[in-house]
Amino acid sequence: MITELRRYRIKPGRMESWLSFFAEAAREQVGHGIRMEYAGVDAETDTFVWLRSFADEPDRKALKDAVYGSEWWNEREDAAMSHVIEYDVTFLDAALIRDGGQVVRTSWPAAGDRAGSTGDSPPDGWTSSTRRTYVPER
């Protein structure tokens, strides 16, 4: 299993609007088969954090391609990204998972492609920063 830990710094005063958008975005992603694990806000820093999981790297690529290639996303991308100052993604390989009512250890590191090994590129109009976060091109 691969989990993405995603952190977004949201522009001041835009968190409520972002959360309204993200509720819809989460439903859309879950509808495509992406497993949403958690979403939360650090109000002190206007940071939105969420985790989503995939079976493996080929699954991650296929499901992300389906979401980000969809008409739904293409109609909303500019409005969504207008909320964001910067974001970063950390790829995590599962070490412990919940199986029924038990917490069990998985084989680690996972066999096959490493998490995020196909690489992600920033959205149109954004570039990678030196901290490996994505920021708008200036």
**One digit per residue, pLDDT tens: the chain, 138 residues?**
788 999 999 999 999 999 999 999 999 999 999 999 999 999 999 999 999 999 888 898 999 999 999 999 999 999 999 999 999 888 887 788 888 888 888 776 666 655 655 556 666 665 655 455 666 776
Number of domains observed in the structure of the chain: 1
Indicate the pTM of the whole model: 0.78
- Domain of 129? 2-136
- CATH, residue 48: 3.30.70.100
Phi, psi of 73 (to 5 degrees): -70, -45
